[in-house]
């Protein structure tokens, strides 16, 4: 508890920054099309009081009826046993999607605006997740910036490059 009190005193509330990833402004990200098939992500997880750890995410997406997607991911993180998680995403309106994630408590909301997508959900322990995806000019690469906050204070973030595999 003392560490949290020190952290809260040192950081302003709403410490989660609004990162604006570079993107191909002439394109529109279609998350269903991009994540259908195989993708691979490589990046780093930065946790407060723990430093950075390399991570790799191998994903396999398959379309569902109604234009949705089921995405199964195997996450390998330095110093931990691999784990699997599953996303389900379905369109609910133009540029808006809803779904679930095995790690989420409640629904996942995804909004697309041009080459970027914003994803929001909550995890156990009162952790709020905000994720930004940005399509790159090659059309086969997406940058991912994910932030995790507790009580408005950023406690972790991920920087990842995701590539669509043949």
Return the pLDDT at 56. 98
Average pLDDT of 110-134? 97
pLDDT bin (cut points 50, 70, 90) of residue 151 is very high
Return the pLDDT at 9. 33
Q: What is the C-alpha end-to-end distance of the chain, expressed in Å?
A: 48
Most distant CA pair in the chain, distance: 50
For residue 154 the two structure tokens come to 């950023």
**pLDDT > 90: percent of the chain:** 81
Q: How far apart are CA 119 and CA 31, in angstroms?
A: 11
Return the pLDDT at 20. 82
**Residues 46/158, Cβ–Cβ less than 8 Å:** yes
For residue 136 the two structure tokens come to 């790159």
| Sign of the dihedral through C-alpha 80, 110, 91, 124 | positive
Average pLDDT of 29-50? 96
One-character DSSP codes across 9-44: HHS-SS----------TTS---HHHHHSEEEEEEEE
Number of C-beta neighbours around residue 3 at 10 A:
9
- Give pTM, 2 decimals: 0.87
**In the chain, domain spans:** 2-164
Summarize pLDDT for 82-111 with one digit per residue, the tens. Answer: 999 999 999 999 999 999 999 999 999 999
Nearest to 88 by CA among 71, 105, 75, 66: 71
Task: Please provide the average confidence, as pLDDT, over all residues in the chain.
Answer: 90
Q: Is residue 48 pLDDT above 70, yes or no?
A: yes
Nearest to 162 by CA among 120, 132, 127, 128: 132
Summarize pLDDT for 10-24 with one digit per residue, the tens. Answer: 333 344 446 789 998
Please tell me the total number of residues recorded for the chain in this structure. Answer: 166
Return the pLDDT at 139. 96
CATH number listed for the domain at residues 2-164: 2.40.128.20
Quote the distance between the C-alpha of residue 80 and its chain's center. Answer: 19
Return the pLDDT at 110. 98
């Amino acid at each position: 508890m003392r560490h949290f009190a020190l952290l809260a005193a040192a950081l302003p509330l709403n410490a989660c920054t609004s990162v604006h990833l570079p993107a191909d402004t002439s394109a529109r990200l279609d998350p269903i099309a991009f994540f259908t098939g195989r993708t691979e992500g490589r990046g780093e997880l930065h946790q407060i009081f723990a430093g950075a750890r390399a991570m790799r995410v191998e994903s396999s997406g398959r379309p569902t009826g109604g234009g949705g997607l089921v995405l199964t991911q195997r996450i390998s993180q330095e110093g931990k046993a691999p784990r699997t998680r599953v996303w389900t995403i379905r369109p609910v309106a133009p540029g808006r999607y809803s779904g679930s994630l095995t790690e989420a408590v409640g629904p996942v909301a995804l909004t697309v605006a041009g080459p970027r997508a914003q994803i929001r959900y909550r995890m156990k322990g009162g952790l709020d997740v905000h994720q930004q995806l940005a399509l790159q000019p090659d059309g086969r690469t997406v940058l991912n910036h994910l932030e995790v906050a507790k009580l408005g204070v950023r406690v972790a973030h991920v920087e990842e490059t995701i590539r669509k595999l043949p």
